[in-house]
Structure 1
Amino acid sequence: MTTPLLTRVKSTLFVHARRRSRNLLEGEFASVFHGRSLDYDDLRDYVPGDEVRDIDWKATARHTSPLVRRYVATRKQNLMLVVDTGRGMAAAARSGEPKKAVAIAAAGLVGYLAQRHGDLVGLVRGDAKGTVAHDLRGSEAHLERLLRAIDTATTLHGDASDLATQLRWLVRNVRRRLLLLIVADDRELDPALADLLRRLQVQHEILWITVEDVDPTTIDPARPTVDVADHYAIPSLVRTDATVRAAYAEAVATRARATDTVLDGAGINHTRVGGSDDVLLAVFTLLERQRRALR
C-alpha cells in the first residue's frame, strides 16, 4: 500500500522539529495573515514570536509564567499552492531526489500548517500547455489529494515547465485575496514573468520557493544523463573538465542572483531548497521573513 504523501510530510515535521519548534513554526504561519478574529477561545503558554498584546497579564500573574490568549477564527483564510508540474520538476534536485518530491514536501508542509490553522487550501498547477485549478477546502483528505495531483502530473514525459502560464491564469481568474505559495523550477525569470508577479503582488501575499537543480558536474561520468528540457545527453566533458565545472558553477550563481533581483524587486520573500531535508528550516525562515515584512 502506498504511504500517503501527507503522512510523509507530517513525519518529517515531527521527526525534525521538537514541540517548541513546531509551536514556533505554526505561530509564524498564523502571523502571515493580516487581521484575526476577536472571539476568545482559551489560554496557552507563550512562545517567542507571539504578540505581546495577546498576553493575559492576570492569568500570567496567577500562573507565574506568560500565557497568551488564543482566538477562534471567524472566517477562514485562503492559501493557494501554485506548483510547476512541468517536466522540469521531474528532474533531479540538488539532493539527487526528484524535484517534485521536494516540491511536495514544501507545499505539503505549508498546506498542513494552513489546515492546522483552520484555513482553506487549494492548488494551481500546470505546465506550458495549460493550467489546472483545484478548489479551496480545509480537510487533510483534500490536502492529500492536492499533493497526489502534483505527484501524478509531474513526469519526465510531460510538457515543458512554464510558470508564466499559471501566473497568467491567476491574474485572469482569481479575484479574492489569497496567500500564494509558489513552488518553482530553478529557471531564469524573464521580464514578462516579473511583470506578472508585480501584478499579482498588488492583490495577494506571495511566498516563493525555488527547487534547485542537481549539479550535473557531480554525476558519475559513466552514468548516462540527459537534460529533461530537451532530452539531449549531457556530455561527460561537463563532469570531467575543471574549466567546464567552474563555468557551470558561475552560471548557476549568476542565475540565482538574477532571480533574487527579480523577486526582491517585486517585494516577494523567497528561498531556495535543494532537498526535502532543507524544507523545514527554509519554510520557517521564509515565514519569519514574511512576518517581519508585515509589521
Structure 2
Amino acid sequence: METTDLLKKVRKIEIKTRGLSRNIFAGEYHSAFKGRGMAFSEVREYQFGDDIRNIDWNVTARYNHPYIKVFEEERELTVMLLIDVSGSREFGTFEKLKKNVITELSAVLSFSAIQNNDKIGVIFFSDKIEKFIPPKKGKSHILRIIRELIDFQPEDRGTDITEAIRYLTNAIKKRCTAFVISDFMDENAELEMALSIANNKHDVVALKIFDERETELPSIGMIKLKDAETGHYVWVDSSSRRTRNMYSDWWRKHTARLDVMFKKCGVDYVAIDTNEDYVKSLMTLFRKRALK
C-alpha cells in the first residue's frame, strides 16, 4: 500500500475509534477491566459484610479465625490483543470484511487502554506467530499498531489459535487482560486446555467475528467455494436441501462447542456480526463484566 494511502486510512480509523473510546467506552472499559488488576497486599480479620471469596484459608486455619486477603488496585494494566490474520478474515458479504471489523475493534480497545494509562501490545497470528509487538504506552505506539492492523501481510494463511494462546502464556509474565480476536474457525482439540491455562494466569476475553452468510448456505444452485486458508476449491449444490441442512447443522454444533468451551474455561465471550454495530456488542460485554 502506498504510504500516503496508508496514512489516510490510519487517520480515518484513528478519528473514528478514538472518538468511540473517549465518548462511549471510557467509563465502561474502566469498570469492566480496571478493577481486575488487583495485587495482593495483606490479610486482616474477617468483618461482617466482607466478600467470603477473599478468605485466606491458610491463614484462617493457622489462627482458627477467619482472615481475608486485602487487595489494592494496580495502577496500570497490561492489555494484549491476539489478532487472527489468517486467510478467513478476508471473508465478508455485506459492507465490511471480517478483517475491517477486527481492525476497528482492535483500534477501539487500544485507545480505551491508553486513555486509562494502560500498556497495550499485540500478537498477530496465523498458524504461527507472525509478529509480536511488546506492550507499551503512548499515541505513537497506538498509531503503529493501527498501521500494522491495516497493512500487515502474514506469511501464512492457516490458523492455529492454540499456538497463539500458548505464546501469550509464555511471553507475558505479568498478569494481563488478553483479547483474542478471531473467527474461531480453528477447531484444534488442544485449544480448550491452552485457554484454561492462559485464563488461570491472565484475564482472557474472546471476541468472535463472523459474517451472517457463514451461518447458512443460500439456495442458488451449483456454487464454487474456495477455502481462504488452503486455497482449495470445491463445488457445492446449494439447491440441495440436504446439503443446506448439513451445513446449518454444522454451524450450530460449531457455535455450541465454542459456547461450552468458553464457559468451561471461564472465558468471557461475545460474538460480533460484521453486519451489525460492534459498539452494542462491546458495551454488553463490558457491562456484563462490570457486574461480576
TM-score (norm 1): 0.74
- 1:129-278 aligned at under 5 Å gives the runs 129-154=128-153, 158-213=156-211, 214-215=213-214, 217-218=217-218, 225-238=225-238, 240-275=239-274, 277-278=276-277
| Residues 192 and 261 in structure 2, CA contact (< 8 A), matched pair in contact too | yes
Deviation at 1:74, TM superposition (A): 8.1
Partner of 1:121: 120
Q: Is the 8 A contact 1:194 1:262 kept in 2?
A: yes
* Closer, same or farther: CA 236–9 of 1 in aligned 2, 3 Å: farther
Q: Where does the alignment leave 5 or more consecutive residues of structure 1 unmatched? A: 38-72
Q: Which residue of 2 aligns with 1:45?
A: none
- 1:219-244 Cα offsets, whole Å, 9 max, x none, are 96687541213222242513x33332
2:122 and 2:135 in contact (8 A); partners too: yes
Aligned residues: 250
Q: Any conservation in 1 of the 2:128–2:164 contact (CA below 8 Å)?
A: no
Distance 1:5 1:247, change over 3 A: farther
| Alpha-carbon RMSD | 3.0
1:34 counterpart = 2:35: yes
Q: Partners in 2 of 1:35 and 1:286 — Cα distance?
A: 15
What is aligned with 2:77?
Answer: 77
Partners of 1:219 and 1:118 in 2: how far apart?
51
Spell out, residue by residue over 1:221-268, the C-alpha distance to the aligned partner (whole angstroms, 9 max, x if none). 687541213222242513x33332222122111101100100011111
C-alpha deviation, 1:124, in angstroms: 0.9
Q: Distance in 2 between matches of 1:93 and 1:78?
A: 32
Residue 158 of structure 2 aligns to a residue in which SS?
Answer: coil
Answer yes or no: is the 8 Å Cα contact 2:272–2:278 preserved in 1: yes
Cα distance in 2 for residues equivalent to 1:147 and 1:173: 22
CA contact 2:125–2:131 (8 Å) conserved in 1: yes
Q: Identify if the C-alpha distance between structure 1 residues 219 and 282 changes in structure 2 by more than 3 Å, giving closer, same or farther.
A: farther
Structure 2 SS opposite 1:186: coil
In structure 1, C-alpha distance between the alignment counterparts of 2:140 and 2:245, rounded to whole Å: 46
Partner of 1:8: 13
**Aligned counterparts of 2:219 and 2:106: Cα–Cα separation in 1:** 28
Q: Does 1:112 align with 2:111?
A: yes
Q: Distance in 1 between matches of 2:159 and 2:74?
A: 38
Structure 1 residue 131, shift from structure 2 partner: 4.1
The answer to whether the Cα contact below 8 Å between 2:127 and 2:156 also exists between their aligned partners in 1 is: no
Q: 2:190 is aligned with what amino acid?
A: A
Distance 2:118 2:258 in 1: 30
Whole-Å Cα distance in 2 between the matches of residues 274 and 107 of structure 1? Answer: 15
> Contact 1:105–1:279 at 8 Å: present in 2 too?
no
More off after superposition, 136-145 vs 178-187: 136-145
Return the offset for 1:112: 1.5
| Counterpart Cα distance in 2 of 1:210 and 1:94 | 17
Letter in 1 for 2:264: G
Give CA deviations for 1:145-168 in whole Å, capped at 9, x if unaligned. 21322333356x733111111111
| Structure that is richer in strand per residue | 2
CA contact (8 A) 2:89 2:97 kept: yes
Tell me the alpha carbon deviations over residues 120-179 of structure 1, each in whole angstroms, 9 at most, x when there is no partner: 111011221334210212223322221322333356x73311111111111222111111
**Cα distance 1:18–1:184, how it changes in 2: closer, same or farther (>3 A)?**
closer
Return the alpha-carbon distance in structure 1 between the equivalents of residues 109 and 227 of structure 2: 30
Once the two structures are superposed, what CA deviation does each residue of 1:169-205 show, in whole Å capped at 9, x if it has no partner?
1122211111101101231544411111111111211
User: Contact 1:271–1:282 at 8 Å: present in 2 too?
Assistant: yes
Distance in structure 1 (CA, Å) of the matches to 2:122 and 2:128: 17
Contact 1:85–1:125 (8 Å) recurs in 2: yes
